[in-house]
Amino acid sequence: MTDTPATKEPRTADIASWTARWGYWAGYITLQALTVLACISVLRLPLPDPAAAYLLTDAVLETGGTRQPVRLPYLLTSDPAPDTPQDFALSFDRPASERHTAWSVLVPRFIRGIEIAVDGTVILDSRRNPAASRPDRNIPEIAVIPATLLRDGPNALTIRLYAVGPLTGFLDQVYVGPDRALRPAYDGRMLLFGTLPVVFSAWQAILTVLLGVMWLKRRHEPAYGVLAIAMALGVVQAFVPPALVVQQSGFARLNAVLISSAPLEAACVLVFVIAFLGLKFPRWGWAIFAPGFLVAIIGLFGGAAMVRSTFLLLGPPTVFASLLTICAIVGWAAVTRRDGVAALFGCATTVLITFGINDMLSALDIVVDRRIQVARMSYSVMLVAIGIGLTWRFAKALNEVDSFAGRMVSLVRETEDKLRASLALEEERARAAALATERNRLMRDLHDGLGGQLVSIVALSERGAEGGRIGEAARAALKDLRLVIDAMDDIDGDLMLALGAWRERTATQLRSHGLPLEWHVRTPQGMPVHPELRPWHVIQVLRLLDEAVTNAVKHSGAGKIAVTIETIGDTAEGRRGRITVEDNGRGFAMSDFVQPGAGAPKPGRGVPNMHKRAARCGATLVIDSGPGGTTVRLDLPREFPGVEPSGG
């Protein structure tokens, strides 16, 4: 062997899956075989019969004027005309010792109607009993013989058999004896063949309602609707009295139609199984309904013989075809999908097929037995299976919903946790960024003012300047420090609050120069509030004003300085704040600023700076200077810019 593991492996896997597949098929088929065996052993169970002592088997059959001795159970050899009575004459002895006990006649099975007469007096007509008139029910009949009719010794018993298609007439062996001896067998059979079918029919009725409701609420699942129709057909068929009872009533036609119920039901169940397993229904599949409808139509318009032959021709084959298809589909689903419910349906179908074959063999006289029809009853096995299947699927769906909800909850929780973590991270990052920005701004602010002033102090003291100039520079440094600190306070966008402190500092400064600071607030509220106002805006505005005042003090020789605060603009959107600084000094020519440092007076150094600061805040600065004084007018923007321009 030189096979490398690489080529070996897939082959082994193939073999494994192949083996597994066939293993499942083998298991499934074994299961069905066991089901068939179980069915056969159930069929072989003896039905309750009275003691053989009361058994009558010898009879004389009188039909159409001919007489022939027959042995019961007896199957009519040829189909007689419907009106021809088939009279079986029997005789029995009633001992004198039994005079005071009630005697009965028990006919355990017959097809399809009987009339019992004792010594020429009719004591029972089964055609009045709807249940007994159904050939698929195996209903026994018992009749108590009126004491006045009975004689000690031999008595004559006549049983007239009515044979109505599609099944051949049949009379089982007859028992005559004390009622107490016959009654238990009758009761046992009634329980099996009378009561149980009613229970099953009731069950079917409940299933009809449940499936109908389910279909109403879930229109996209036609499987339930189809099955509900099948169940409804079954229920109607079970409770409408059969033709034998109501010959001429309106039910007769309905009954003829209902003969088609079996093929239609089978077709419906097939459609249900296909839909239930989620398979695609082939378009030509609807053909399975055709035989049923054909039988129904013929039942409506055709004659009795025609109905019968059509039914025999189409009914059982359709039912069997449906059952075999179901069998194949559920078998396939059970094996390939490992679907437990499909396997259950498979077993139910097998039971139905087995019992159906039993009935067919019996009806076609291939197997000689006592004509017990079990297919209709075994249909209840199918019902049980369907009930279990639906409940199973419902419970599974509920579990899925539960686990889905649970999964969703944990998923949502996980996502929330992640979100919270990333949010915290984001917050942390934003905080760090804000801190860094703030630090940069603070550094620049300190650099602009305090740093420069301190350097200036160092320079002044090194050059042996007089104390006054050093003190002035130091004072300016302190003033600037206060400005920076003050601007950092939260003022909620009200620039007036910052200007209040600025006025104080400026007034103190001017007082030392013997200059008064005039302060006019023209509008009661001062200036509009700017929620977007940030400390760096405040610093720019205050420094700008500082420079305007310093220029006025140092270079203009002014006698007074006036600051005016007002709001300009009429409309709500157009309102802006305006700050004006005026002095009555000698002014300066604008050309002084073009070449800074060129002339002896150097007020100009501050002016480009002032324009720069105004531009940073988006404010408009107008400086108007003449011999009569200088006016610095700052028009604040309607909205302060959000981002500080870098540089400068």
Partner 1 sequence: MKPEQAEAGTGGAIAVLLVEDDAPTCGRLRDALVGAGDFEVATAATLAEARAALKARRPRVLLTDLQLPDGHGSTLIRETRQSSPDTEIMVISILGDEESVISAITVGATGYLLKDAFPTDIAATVRELVAGHSPISASIARFIVRRTQGVAERPGIAPLNTAKLTPREIDILWGIAKGFSYAEIAGHLGLSRQTVPGHIKSIYRKLEVSTRGEAVFEALQQGLIRL
Note the residues at the interface with partner 1 (CB under 8 A).
474-475, 478, 481-482, 485-486, 489-491, 494, 496-497, 499-504, 508, 511-512, 519, 521, 526
Return the structure tokens found at 201. 């029919």
From the list 589, 512, 513, 591, the residue with the least C-alpha distance to 557 is 513
| Three-state secondary-structure class, residue 55 | strand
Geometric angle at alpha carbon 416, from 415 and 421, rounded to 5°? 100
DSSP 272-293: HHHHHTTPPPPGGGGGGGHHHH
Encoded amino acid at 242, one letter: P
Round to the nearest angstrom and report the end-to-end CA distance of the chain: 84
Q: Is the dihedral of CA 152, 154, 155, 161 positive or negative?
A: positive
Considering the complex, state which of residue 118 and residue 498 has its C-beta at the smaller distance from partner 1: 498
Return the structure tokens found at 173. 């062996």
Considering the complex, state which of residue 118 and residue 495 has its C-beta at the smaller distance from partner 1: 495
- Minimum separation from the CB atom of position 568 to partner 1 (A): 19
Torsion of the alpha carbons at 464, 469, 470 and 473, rounded to the nearest 10: -140
Considering the complex, state which of residue 447 and residue 520 has its C-beta at the smaller distance from partner 1: 520
**Which residues does 319 contact at the CB level (< 8 Å), separation at least 6?**
262, 263, 266, 356
Pairing state between β 561-568 and 103-107: unpaired
Sheet strand arrangement including 174-178: 55-56, 174-178, 103-107, 141-145
Instruction: Give dist(CA 407, CA 615) in Å, integer.
Output: 57
Q: Are 536 and 485 in contact (CB under 8 A)?
A: no
Considering the complex, state which of residue 117 and residue 527 has its C-beta at the smaller distance from partner 1: 527
| Three-state secondary-structure class, residue 581 | strand
Return the structure tokens found at 341. 């419910």
Considering the complex, state which of residue 500 and residue 637 has its C-beta at the smaller distance from partner 1: 500
Return the structure tokens found at 328. 């194949």
Considering the complex, state which of residue 340 and residue 516 has its C-beta at the smaller distance from partner 1: 516
Considering the complex, state which of residue 384 and residue 497 has its C-beta at the smaller distance from partner 1: 497
Work out the widest C-alpha separation in the chain, in whole angstroms. 166
DSSP 494-522: -HHHHHHHHHHHHHHHHHHTT--EEEEE-
Instruction: Give dist(CA 123, CA 483) in Å, integer.
Output: 127
Q: Are 152 and 203 in contact (CB under 8 A)?
A: no
Q: Are 32 and 353 in contact (CB under 8 A)?
A: no
- Minimum separation from the CB atom of position 633 to partner 1 (A): 19
Q: Which residue has the tokens 């929620």?
A: 531
From the list 199, 200, 40, 176, the residue with the least C-alpha distance to 108 is 176
- Minimum separation from the CB atom of position 496 to partner 1 (A): 4
- The answer to whether the peptide bond before residue 109 is cis (omega within 30 degrees of 0) is no
- Minimum separation from the CB atom of position 624 to partner 1 (A): 24
Considering the complex, state which of residue 486 and residue 583 has its C-beta at the smaller distance from partner 1: 486
Considering the complex, state which of residue 433 and residue 485 has its C-beta at the smaller distance from partner 1: 485
Considering the complex, state which of residue 38 and residue 507 has its C-beta at the smaller distance from partner 1: 507
Considering the complex, state which of residue 117 and residue 549 has its C-beta at the smaller distance from partner 1: 549
- Minimum separation from the CB atom of position 450 to partner 1 (A): 12
- Minimum separation from the CB atom of position 456 to partner 1 (A): 16
Phi/psi of residue 385, each to 5°?
Answer: -60, -45
- Minimum separation from the CB atom of position 525 to partner 1 (A): 9
Considering the complex, state which of residue 451 and residue 641 has its C-beta at the smaller distance from partner 1: 451
Instruction: Give dist(CA 194, CA 87) in Å, integer.
Output: 26
- Minimum separation from the CB atom of position 486 to partner 1 (A): 6
Total residue length of the chain: 648
- Minimum separation from the CB atom of position 613 to partner 1 (A): 20
Return the structure tokens found at 550. 């310093």
Return the structure tokens found at 229. 């129709």
- Minimum separation from the CB atom of position 601 to partner 1 (A): 27
Instruction: Give dist(CA 351, CA 368) in Å, integer.
Output: 21
| Three-state secondary-structure class, residue 556 | helix
- Minimum separation from the CB atom of position 488 to partner 1 (A): 11
- Minimum separation from the CB atom of position 619 to partner 1 (A): 19
Residue 363 exposure: Cα atoms within 13 Å on the Cβ side: 16
Considering the complex, state which of residue 264 and residue 544 has its C-beta at the smaller distance from partner 1: 544
Considering the complex, state which of residue 47 and residue 442 has its C-beta at the smaller distance from partner 1: 442
- Minimum separation from the CB atom of position 404 to partner 1 (A): 46
Pairing state between β 55-56 and 141-145: unpaired
- Minimum separation from the CB atom of position 439 to partner 1 (A): 19
Considering the complex, state which of residue 434 and residue 485 has its C-beta at the smaller distance from partner 1: 485
- Minimum separation from the CB atom of position 498 to partner 1 (A): 9
